[in-house]
């Protein structure tokens, strides 16, 4: 039902005559009459009795009046709601993050977003890239940030690559390996390696590097990065992560970095991932903009 017809109907009800209603809605009398007839046709009922005393509601018109007022109020409410969403004054945003960017990028981004748009409900899901991809394609998320190595070439996804952070190898403060100025990768393999689940290509790279010692056999796998850091700080395990993830643990001397030759080749491939061909909501667009500022 066209809201113009509704407005014309209410103008005629409130004014009681076609002449005065025409002045209110800025239409000629023939145009207003056609609009009312179109509404009557849609409803299948005569709404007004037309006579020398003006336009008087019929029984059908009186029955329709409260519903018509309700429709117009609902339309206005919808318009205001849409404008509020566009102005980021209300709404909800669901985003995802991989374990590492959760503690080295998305924490800062989320803090800025919430500070700037406190009325937006922000839902954050932390998962590996596989779970995030499924959630995105199931419309549970609008976007996520994760290592995109295993996602490149996926036709369902649009990926915006981000600057890559420095990666460090770290261990417990006082670990035996901290006594050595420079290490080879194979020197680490006498100790458990604590890592999140890796993309397939990165897994192959780690296994190739570890092949002289029979592969990466001593291993702890956990997608909770805070727990991984805690495990490393309390044991002889070793881990590798973007430096920002362990910055506070380094400052508090819970962990220390190791100088390992060739580790600079191990780079994350952070990217913002969204559904291909689907525009983002105003809230998601604002969130992505902050990601780019912080990355």
What pLDDT was estimated at residue 60? Answer: 93
What pLDDT was estimated at residue 80? Answer: 67
Q: What percent of the chain has pLDDT over 70?
A: 98
Any idea which residue has 């700080």 for tokens?
Answer: 233
- The beta strand positions in the chain, using DSSP E, are 48-51, 54-57, 92-97, 121-126, 143-147, 157-161, 167-172, 193-195, 219-221, 238-242, 255-258, 270-275
- Residue ranges in the chain modelled with pLDDT below 70: 77, 80-81
pTM listed for this prediction: 0.68
What pLDDT was estimated at residue 284? Answer: 92
Q: How far apart are CA 127 and CA 109, in angstroms?
A: 17
Report all structural domains of the chain as residue ranges with CATH numbers, in order of start. Answer: 3-86 (1.10.10.10), 92-164+269-294 (3.40.190.10), 167-265 (3.40.190.10)
Helices (H) and strands (E) in the chain, counts: 11, 12
For the segment 182-234, what is each residue's pLDDT rounded down to a tens digit?
A: 999 999 999 999 999 887 778 888 888 888 888 888 899 998 999 999 999 99
């Amino acid at each position: 039902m066209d809201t113009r017809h509704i407005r014309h109907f209410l103008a005629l009800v409130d004014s009681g005559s076609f002449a005065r209603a025409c002045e209110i809605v800025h239409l000629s009398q023939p145009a207003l009459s056609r609009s009312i007839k179109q509404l009557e046709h849609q409803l299948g009922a005569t709404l007004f009795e037309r006579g020398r005393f003006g336009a008087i509601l019929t029984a059908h018109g009186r029955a329709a009046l409260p519903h018509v007022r309700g429709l117009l109020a609902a339309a206005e409410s919808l318009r205001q709601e849409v404008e509020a969403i566009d102005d980021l004054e209300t709404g909800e945003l669901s985003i995802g993050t991989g374990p590492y960017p959760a503690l080295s990028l998305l924490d800062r981004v989320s803090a800025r977003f919430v500070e700037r748009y406190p009325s937006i409900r922000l839902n954050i899901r932390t998962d590996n890239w596989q779970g995030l991809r499924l959630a995105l394609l199931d419309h549970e998320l609008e976007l996520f940030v994760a290592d995109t190595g295993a996602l490149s070439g996926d036709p369902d996804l649009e990926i915006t690559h981000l600057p890559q952070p420095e990666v460090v190898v770290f261990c417990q403060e006082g670990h035996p390996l901290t006594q050595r100025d420079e290490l080879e990768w194979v020197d680490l393999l006498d100790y458990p390696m604590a890592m999140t689940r890796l993309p397939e290509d990165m897994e192959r790279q780690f296994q190739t590097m570890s092949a002289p010692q029979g592969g990466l056999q001593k291993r702890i796998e956990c997608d909770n990065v805070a727990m991984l850091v805690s495990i490393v700080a309390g044991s002889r395990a070793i881990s590798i992560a973007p430096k920002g993830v362990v910055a506070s643990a380094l400052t508090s001397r819970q962990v220390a970095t190791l100088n390992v030759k060739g580790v600079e080749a191990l780079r994350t491939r952070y990217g913002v991932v969204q559904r291909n061909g689907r525009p983002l909501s105003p809230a998601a667009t604002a969130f992505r903009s902050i990601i780019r500022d912080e990355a």
